[in-house]
Amino acid sequence: MAVTSELTVLHRAIDELQAVVGSVRGRYGDIPAVRRLLGDVDRILLDAAELDEVPPPPQPEGQVEMQIIDDTPFDPSLWSDADDEGLGGYHGGSR
């Protein structure tokens, strides 16, 4: 089955297309235009299945893979004994 996110999206789109073409067939019957649409969907399915067997091509040189950075706040206790840079640091007692 689909290995990359692009192929996963492709398979979902094909599933939706099959459902719509099936609805069109139910409404218009077995006319030449509908038969051609069914044939086109079958060919798309075959091509997508072929892509499932091909390993994804390597990324071009210089292209950086996107990294997802979690943006949930850090636990404040991690910073409890840290100095505030630029504010003179922590000095016990009063000045």
Stretch 10-14: mean pLDDT, rounded?
Answer: 95
pLDDT at 94 over 80: no
Locate 58 and state its tokens: 């390597």
pLDDT per position as a tens digit, 18-54: 999 999 999 999 999 999 999 999 999 999 999 989 8
Do 8 and 2 touch, CB atoms closer than 8 A? Answer: yes
pLDDT at 66 over 90: no
Query: Which pTM was predicted?
Result: 0.55
List, in sequence order, the alpha helices (H) in the chain. 5-28, 32-53
